[in-house]
Amino acid sequence: MKIELVFIPSPGIGHLRSTVELAKQLVNGDDRLSITVIIIPRSSGGDATDSAQISSLFAASQDRLRYETISVADEPTADRLPTQLYIKNQKPQVRDAVAKILDPARVDSPPRLAGFVVDMFCTSMIDLADEFGVPTYMVYTSNATFLGITLHLQLMLDEKKYDTSELDESVNELEFPCLTRPYPVECLPYLFISKEWLPFFMDQARSFRKMKGILVNTVAELEPHALELFSGDDDLPRAYPVGPVLHLESGSDNSNDDGKQSEILRWLDDQPAKSVVFLCFGSMGGFNEEQTREIAVALDRSGHRFLWSLRRASPDILKQGPGDYTDLDEVLPEGFLDRTLERGKIIGWAPQAAVLAKPAIGGFVTHCGWNSMLESLWFGVPMVTWPLYAEQKVNAFVMVEELGLAVEIRRSLKGDLMAGGMETVAAEDIERAIRRVMEQDSDVRNRVKEMAEKCHVALTDGGSSQVALRKFIQDVIENVVV
């Protein structure tokens, strides 16, 4: 019997990469399984490089892994729709694409549809799966702890026990079943205390509860306590820890690269092992001139070699990403570039995975995006946590407080880029964190090395993530109605 899964990732090449990586593992895990990835174009229309990158992702795939790009009606010229609403509006086109896959007039022996596997921002597609009479599974690109916190806050809200956007000032800590220690209220992400964002995430959590199962980009050995919540024994969906799902190819995705990646990597090859601290803050992470100077002072005083991916802060992160500074001399302290010429390099865009893979990297100052943290663990690089937006304050707490795999700039950082900006972190705090993370035989560095080994073993035959992947395939096949 041929069994078909339909994957629906969020628009954008970043989401698609991890989806295809996971889909490849699944079709390699069972010859009966085939997967079609339904690609929803970006609402902005994308550009010519999108289709080329999509084709390259599937180029080496076998015929049991295919993709179908749906056509999207032109949007009105008014403000762009929120991503979730935009995706919801594509249901008719997705319905037609799935019907075509199953059409006996088009395919000699159509496969048995086993379910939809949707991105965490595509939960509106549950309705379509119900129409086809199949279960919906979800790919969760963050960690099990944040998933547990989100579901617990939704339960507390619905049971009218508390609302995190209206907490009394006397409440300093909250207890979450997915954590081994209390969570400080001052470290709650903005999206949980904002009256604008909280309703959306609570609605999303209600949709999560309807899933048949959740594929989580984590490792059983990394989050054992949080994963206990999702063992399938209560009213929560079963979680399958199948990570780390990473896209580690060293080729540049930046069309404007023009050799800069090669130059960066060659420079790193000339540095001693574990001597360079790498500062990189994701696609949305940028800093104003005041914060940029504080970072420069910290790097100057620390004496360590550094590779710094520096971007100018966006005036509105929800509408545009950060840009590059055009004249570094105007922003950096006087003489900084001359003083650090032999031991430092300032760049714009960074080939992050390729950099972290270099033996010269001894520490990573990160915005705490989950994918960045998994990459750092994969390559055995200890982190300095500097959360800027989204769920990153939770990720930082998990890495520092729960797991001891990182050091923090400060326990609580006020502000959020989604709320309009962050407080300025002083050079003294940054320097202290850099010195700690670069210690050569620290407990943190040793724990990271041990976790890196566990992450690699998890993906080998018999490893925990491979076992979870096989369990997911088994459950999918058993759920097909005979």
Which residues are paired to 62 by β-bridges? none
Are 462 and 431 in a shared domain? no
pLDDT averaged over the chain?
91
* 281 is a domain residue: yes
pLDDT at position 292 over 50: yes
Nearest to 356 by CA among 247, 245, 242: 247
Same domain, 446 and 464: no
> Is residue 443 predicted with pLDDT exceeding 90?
yes
* Pair 449, 416 in one domain: yes
Rounded to whole angstroms, the Cα distance separating 25 from 240 reads: 14
Asked whether residue 253 is domain-assigned, the answer is no
CB 191 within 8 A of CB 428: no
- 240 and 291 both lie in a single domain: no
> Does residue 138 register a pLDDT over 70?
yes
- Based on C-alpha coordinates, what's the Rg of the chain? 23
Closest by CA position to 73, among listed 55, 46, 93, 56: 93
In sequence order, which residues have a C-beta less than 8 Å from that of residue 472 and are 6 or more positions away? 26, 137, 213, 215, 240, 242
Residue 463 in domain? yes
Interatomic CA distance for residues 140 and 160, integer angstroms: 27
Mean predicted confidence (pLDDT) in 172-180: 97
Winning range, highest mean pLDDT, from 83-87, 107-111, 401-405: 401-405
227-264 tens-digit pLDDT: 999 987 678 999 999 999 998 765 444 444 558 889 99
Same domain (yes/no): 44, 184: yes
pLDDT for res 60: 67
The CA distances from residue 239 to 63, 180, 247, 353, 389, in Å, are: 28, 19, 22, 27, 25
The region of weakest confidence among 98-107, 277-286, 417-426 is 98-107
Q: What is the CATH classification number for the domain harbouring 74?
A: 3.40.50.2000
φ, ψ of residue 76 to 5 degrees: the values are -60, 160
CA distance 379 to 352: 11
- Average pLDDT on 353-363 reads 98
Q: Confidence class of residue 32 from pLDDT cuts 50, 70 and 90?
A: very high
CA 1 – CA 212 distance, rounded (Å): 22
Q: Are 346 and 449 in the same domain?
A: yes
β pairing state of 183-184 and 173-174:
antiparallel
Task: Choose among 96, 131, 91, 97: nearest CA to 115.
Answer: 131
The answer to whether the CB of 226 falls within 8 A of the CB of 143 is yes
Q: Which helix (H) or strand (E) holds 15?
A: helix 13-29
Q: What's the rounded Cα separation, in Å, for the pair 402 and 396?
A: 9
Domain assignment present for 432: yes
| Cα 255 to the center of its chain, rounded Å | 22
Grade residue 45 by pLDDT with cuts at 50, 70 and 90: low
Q: Which domain holds residue 421?
A: 260-453
Which of the four pLDDT bands, split at 50, 70 and 90, describes residue 334? very high
Q: Are residues 137 and 280 in the same domain?
A: no
The pLDDT score that the predictor gives to residue 253 is 47
Is 437 among the domain residues? yes
Q: Is 239 in the same domain as 271?
A: no
pLDDT of 342 above 80: yes
Is this prediction's pTM over 0.85? yes
Same domain (yes/no): 345, 424: yes
pLDDT number for residue 107 = 66
Q: Indicate if the alpha-carbon torsion angle 249, 255, 258, 263 is positive or negative.
A: negative
Of residues 419, 407, 389, 421, the one with CA closest to residue 289: 421
Q: Does a structural domain hold residue 255?
A: no
pLDDT-derived band of residue 50, with 50, 70 and 90 as boundaries?
A: confident
How do residues 106-123 score in pLDDT, each as one tens digit? 767 788 999 999 999 999
Examine the domain organization and report whether 116 and 265 are in the same domain: no
In a domain, 252, yes or no: no
Number of domains in the chain: 2
Q: How far apart are CA 306 and CA 363, in angstroms?
A: 9
Task: Inform me whether the pLDDT recorded for 97 exceeds 70.
Answer: yes
- For residues 299 and 234, state if they share a domain: no
Note whether residue 373 is domain-resident: yes
Same-domain pairing of 421 and 475: no
